[in-house]
Amino acid sequence: MGRSQPSLGLAPPSRRKDARAKAARFTAHKTIPGLLASSARVRKGVESSELILDASAVDVRSSMRGLGSRGHGDDGRANVKIRVVADDTLVVARALSQASAGGFGEEKSARPKRNVAVLNMASPLVPGGGFLNGATAQEESLCNRTTLYPALKDEFYRLPEVGAIWTEDVLVFRDHTGQDLGKGDRWWVDVISAAMLRFPDVEDTTDEDKKYASQKDRDTAGRQIKCLMDILQAKGVEKCVLGAWGCGAYGNPVMEIANAFNKVILGDGRDSKTKHWGNLKEIVFAIKEERLAADFAKHFGNGLQVERLALGQDHTSDENEDAGTDELKDLEDKIKELGLRIGQSNNPSLKTPLEAIRAQMMSQLEQKRSVNTPADVLSEENSEDDDEST
Going from the N-terminus, what domains does the chain have, and what CATH number goes with each?
A: 36-314 (3.40.220.10)
55 or 34: which leads in pLDDT: 34
Among the listed residues 335, 334, 328, 337, the one whose alpha carbon sits nearest the alpha carbon of residue 378: 328
Q: Which distant-in-sequence residues (6+ apart) come within 8 Å of 264 by Cβ?
A: 222, 225, 226, 229
Is residue 137's pLDDT more than 50? yes
Q: What is the mean pLDDT of residues 354-368?
A: 73
Report d(CA 241, CA 118) in Å as an integer: 5
At 64 the pLDDT is 47
Where residue 178 falls (left for φ over 0; alpha for ψ -120 to 50; beta otherwise) is left
Q: What is the pLDDT of residues 201-245, one digit of tens each?
A: 998 776 667 899 999 999 999 999 999 999 999 999 999 999 999
Please list, in sequence order, all residues whose beta carbon lies within 8 angstroms of the beta carbon of residue 150, skipping any fewer than 6 positions away.
Answer: 28, 32, 36, 46
The string of pLDDT tens digits covering residues 250-307 is: 999 999 999 999 999 998 755 444 467 889 999 999 999 999 999 999 999 999 999 9
Amino acid 372: pLDDT: 44
The band of 345, judged by pLDDT with boundaries at 50, 70 and 90, is confident
**What pLDDT, on a 0 to 100 scale, did the predictor assign at position 266?**
92
SS3 150: helix
DSSP assignment letter at 105: S
Cβ partners under 8 Å of residue 173, min gap 6 = 31, 35, 145, 146, 147, 180, 181, 186
Strand partners, 174: 180
The rounded distance, in Å, linking the Cα atoms of 48 and 65 is 15
Model confidence at 359, pLDDT cuts 50, 70, 90, reads confident
Mean pLDDT value across the chain: 80
Give the pLDDT confidence of 96-117 residue by residue, as tens digits.
998 733 445 444 444 446 899 9
Q: How far lies 254's CA from each of 159, 173, 196, 207, 295, in Å?
A: 22, 32, 12, 9, 7
Task: State the pLDDT at residue 289.
Answer: 94
At 54, the pLDDT band (50, 70, 90 cuts) reads confident
